[in-house]
Amino acid sequence: MSGAIEWELYRSLLGVLREGSLSGAARALGIAQPTVGRHVAALEAALGLALFTRSQTGLIPTEAALALRGHAQAMESTAAALERVAASYGDGVRGVVRVTASEVIGVEVLPAVVASLHTRHPDLKVELVLSNSVQDLLQREADVAVRMTAPRQDQLVARRVGAIELGLHASAAYLQRHGTPATLDELAGHVLIGYDRPPPFARAALRRWPWFGREHIALRTDSDVAQLALIRAGAGIGVCQAALARRTPGLVRLLPEAFTLPFETWVTMHEDLRDSPRCRVTFDALVEALGAHAVA
């Protein structure tokens, strides 16, 4: 095995793993298809391993390729972090900051924060990673994160911004057509909006409210943004952030005393970034905006 394998070879490996073909990886990476092929062949030769087998549907990764995937992704995150740090040096707030948050926070709350940041710091570039999965700050998959759980790693700087409350909501138009439930038991006669595959926090809630289990959900989606859109469109009754519901005329909070889900919200970043101007101003802006959102 070669002692020095270039990162570009692993980058092409990841491209093929993600896209399933040399041509797809080439398009995604912005390089020529023969170059991707040479990179994969060079990596196989350096490792002494077969990484893909060919089929009619494309390239099938071997067990060796799948075992390498996580390590290559860690290399990718580190390379991206190096680029962000290098780009941030110079006078003033500049460079790239990568922010991760849930879909609904990213769509409904962060745009105003990002717009304000860019107005005040035009040399700052913001990358948004919107996902309900937790990005690893220790592996530098992101610089600053908005999380609905308290961070447990000692290497992270964290600020609690408050509790964001979730509740049951429906549009006035839906309630006019179907009536307003007076108890949780009456929800059984309504169109419920919820998850197809509930995330961990939702599974915990279902233990308290089994009537909101998957078998009772008529309209299912794992996207919080899609659920909010369905509620706003009058499709049924669903769970959403109370602060977001209050922004929408015609949305009605249902059974607030019987159903409430407060989620502690935190802004976090790696302690090594506390003195980075780009991360500091972004961190502070998120703390301020989300604190206001939590008490709205």
Stretch 198-227: mean pLDDT: 83
What single-letter amino acid sits at 162?
G
Q: What is the pLDDT of residues 14-50, one digit of tens each?
A: 999 988 888 888 898 889 988 998 999 999 998 988 9
Structure tokens belonging to residue 36: 């991707």
* Interval 204-220 mean pLDDT: 82
Average of per-residue pLDDT values in the chain:
87
Tens-place pLDDT, residues 54-87: 877 778 899 989 998 988 888 887 777 777 666 6
pLDDT of residue 210: 76
> What pLDDT does 223 receive?
92
pLDDT of residue 28: 87
Give the contacts of 71 (CB within 8 A, at least 6 positions apart): none
Judge whether residue 148 has pLDDT over 70: yes
- This prediction's pTM: 0.68
Instruction: Give one word for 145, left, alpha or beta, with left for phi > 0 and alpha for psi -120 to 50.
Output: beta
Strands (DSSP E) found in the chain:
52-55, 58-61, 95-101, 124-130, 144-147, 156-171, 193-194, 219-220, 238-241, 251-254, 261-270
pLDDT (0 to 100) of residue 20: 87
3-7, 83-87, 163-167, 195-199: range with lowest mean pLDDT: 83-87
pLDDT at 108 over 90: yes
Best CA proximity match to 240, nearest among 214, 263, 206, 210 = 263
Percent of the chain with pLDDT over 90: 45
Report which of residues 111 and 136 the model is more confident about: 111
What is the structure's pLDDT at 134?
65
pLDDT value of position 77 = 78
- pLDDT tens-digit profile of 255-282? 999 999 888 999 998 888 888 888 899 9
> Residue 279: how many CB atoms within 10 A of its CB?
25
